Amino acid sequence: MVQGFLILLACQLCGELTVTLLNVPVPGSVVGMVLLLIGLMIRGEVPDGLRTTGEGLLRLLPLLLVPAGVGLMTHFALLSEYWGELIISLFVSTLITMFTVALLLKLLSKEKVAVEHEGGGVDD
């Protein structure tokens, strides 16, 4: 488990260093997770220590949402002032997300069908 934490912290450190040195407007933790993903893709598997650590952190994920909920309640007056704009922006962003996912699903499923028809199917 300690090994998994060290891997995660090393990836975050590399991401933070990359963002700082290259002056990229992306959070260092996001760059670190991309580096972790690339490393795992190269390795082809997830080490047991990292898997255990990741599953443990996922079990604690709801606790990370508590500060966001407290922040919402702290600024309730401001939110109630702009509730209409918030509802509209949430609705529009949800529609954009749904259409984007549907479009990607349609495009990717066409590519999969084309590959299967070219002889890449399992039955060959």
pTM to 2 decimal places = 0.57
pLDDT at 124 > cutoff 50: no
3-state secondary structure of 89: helix
In this predicted structure, what is the pLDDT of residue 123?
52
Contact 49, 57 (CB under 8 A): no
The 10s digit of each residue's pLDDT in 79-106 is 889 999 999 999 999 999 999 999 999 9
E strand or H helix at 117: none
Residue 52: Cβ within 10 Å count:
14
In this predicted structure, what is the pLDDT of residue 68?
81
The 10s digit of each residue's pLDDT in 4-55 is 999 999 999 999 999 999 998 999 999 999 999 999 999 999 999 999 999 9
Can you give the residue ranges of every domain in the chain?
1-59, 76-118
3-state secondary structure of 13: helix
